[in-house]
Amino acid sequence: MLKKSVMMSAIFATSLIQAQVLTTNTGSPVGSNQHSKTIGNNGQVLLEDVHLIEKLAAFDRERIPERVVHARGAGAFGEFVAAADFSDVTMADFLSQAGKVTPLLVRFSTVTHQQGSPETYRDPRGFAVKFYTEQGNYDLVGNNLPVFFIRDAIKFPDMVHAFKPSPLTNGASDPNRVFDFFSNLPESTHMFTWLFSDYGIPANFRQMEGNGVHAYKWVNAKGEVTYVKYKWVPRQEVKNLTQEEANAIQATSVEHATLDLYHAIDRKEYPVWDLYVQMLKREDFDALDFNPVDVTKIWPEAVAKSVKVGTMTLNANPTNYFQQVEQAAFAPSTLVPGIEPSEDKLLQGRMFSYADTQRHRLTGNFQQIPVNSAKNQVNTYNQNGYMSLRPQSGDVNYQPSTTKPEVVDDAKFKYSKSEFFTPVSTTQHVIDKENNFKQAGELYRSFSKKDQDNLIKNLSGAFNSIKNKVIVHKMVAYFYQADKDYGTRLLKATNVKLEDIKPYFEQK
């Protein structure tokens, strides 16, 4: 018996040693990973060296297309614990009982800059959460700031082009180009007030808020619709950087936020956020002086009180950045029953654009990559294409089928009825109740004197670098209409006169 035990131990030890042998992608052992196969010691390299060819070919294909936006990012895994049963307002199963635990992945990012760029740039921060629910994946794709620059997706490519390097010089983001574009979009006034305050440079990813930004619809089992907005509130103190503090960090590190997140989790100092939603009914909309599905607006607490729906804890770092963060694919169209998009024009466009970006970057089967795959069983007859890995067998690859009648639809998960327009008509027009400046003014007045001073310094610094002064006049006119003191201080800081900006005031 002892002899047999010793022999089994030797076999097991041998198998362990063999498991460490370097192999090709097909599992064949590699004879030498240091020297190519040549004719003699000093002759030409042979094409038949399959390991060399495979190694170089794999290396040539290591990079995939960079995200057009949100290219620079960091991620972590964790869990979400529901605070209560919300089944009276949504069919979403992960919100169906207090204490229900749902695993998740979060990816934080800068927005407009490329991979490898400093994480200290003044830029919105992406805050994307993938919930692995029992009804499939749900992506809540938002930013740290609660509003956005534009309200219609048809402007999105132009906006990103304005932020990106010049096609002429390939230089970094240029205020001349950025504000040349936005000087024609007064709806951006609110977002720029956020962005050029200290909120425009979060100190790190752990100490910033997150927002769903858009309005969404929650739908219950009766088909009743409640409009909601999401907000992530960190239990860690919110912390931002002044421009000077950001410059000092950037002098020594370009990935300070990524490393901060990684090392905090590694130390078991797990970051925690509470998720809140605000709720409105369609019948509440008409009484408001803004359109609640306008992404350039917040919902004031006086209009819609925040309700806690759960808590997120990030407690695990990725084990491979490329596989679990770079290949992580988020899209607002990744929804579960009980959650639907609102009529927000920007969100409607993102429903297509984000998923289409992932198909371009990661192939049409990007949902089969492990980090993106659902944890529940997937039953679909979508098939084939690059990297088709989902097990599929049998003769029936269609539905309905008499041969295989058990694969069926479920009518209780049909989409809700739109409540917005009667009678239905089509148009291409600005939304009702634009109200471009009011909330920007309220935000300015809510800032402390220090925050107001930094905002004026940051904005005027950008404006003073702009060559075309008409652009400056138009932008200052927007901020003046938001708040007289706000505009007056910018007039002084940019050496612009009041009569220069009056032609650009909105006509009432």
Cα→Cα distances 28→24, 36, 323, 389, Å: 5, 16, 23, 22
Can you list the alpha helix ranges (DSSP code H) found in 314-448?
A: 321, 345-362, 438-446
Sequence letter at residue 295 = V
The CATH number of the structural domain formed by 73-170+188-372 is 2.40.180.10
Residue bearing tokens 């609640």:
292
pLDDT of 421 reads 55
Q: How many helices (H) and strands (E) does the chain have?
A: 14, 10
> For residues 218 and 90, is the Cβ–Cβ distance under 8 A?
yes
Q: Give residue 189's pLDDT.
A: 97
Q: What is the pLDDT of residue 230?
A: 98
- Of 137, 143, 436, 458, the active-site residue reads 143
Residue 13 is predicted with a pLDDT of: 46
Please indicate whether residue 143 is annotated as part of the active site: yes
- Domain ranges for the chain: 1-30+48-62, 73-170+188-372, 438-504
Which pLDDT does position 419 carry in this prediction? 61
Q: Is 429 considered catalytic here?
A: no
Whether residue 354 is annotated as binding a ligand: the answer is: yes
Q: What is the pLDDT of residue 398?
A: 81
> Which residue type does 462 have?
A
pLDDT tens digits, 184-217? 999 999 999 999 999 999 999 999 999 999 999 9
CA–chain centroid gap for 274, Å, is 18
Give the pLDDT confidence score for residue 20 in this predicted structure: 83
pTM, two decimal places = 0.89
Average pLDDT for consecutive 10-residue bins of the chain (508 residues)?
Answer: 47 50 88 90 89 87 90 96 98 97 97 91 97 95 97 93 92 91 96 97 98 96 95 97 96 95 98 98 94 97 97 98 96 94 93 92 92 90 85 84 84 74 69 93 97 97 96 97 97 96 86
Q: Which amino acid is at 323?
A: Q
Which DSSP letter does residue 187 get? G
The predicted structure's pLDDT at residue 390: 85
> What does the pLDDT look like over 321-334, one tens digit per residue?
999 999 999 999 99
Whether residue 272 contacts residue 235, with contact meaning beta carbons closer than 8 Å, is answered with yes
217 DSSP β-pair partners: 227, 340
Residue range 129-188, pLDDT digits in tens: 999 999 999 999 999 999 999 999 999 999 999 999 999 999 888 999 999 999 999 999
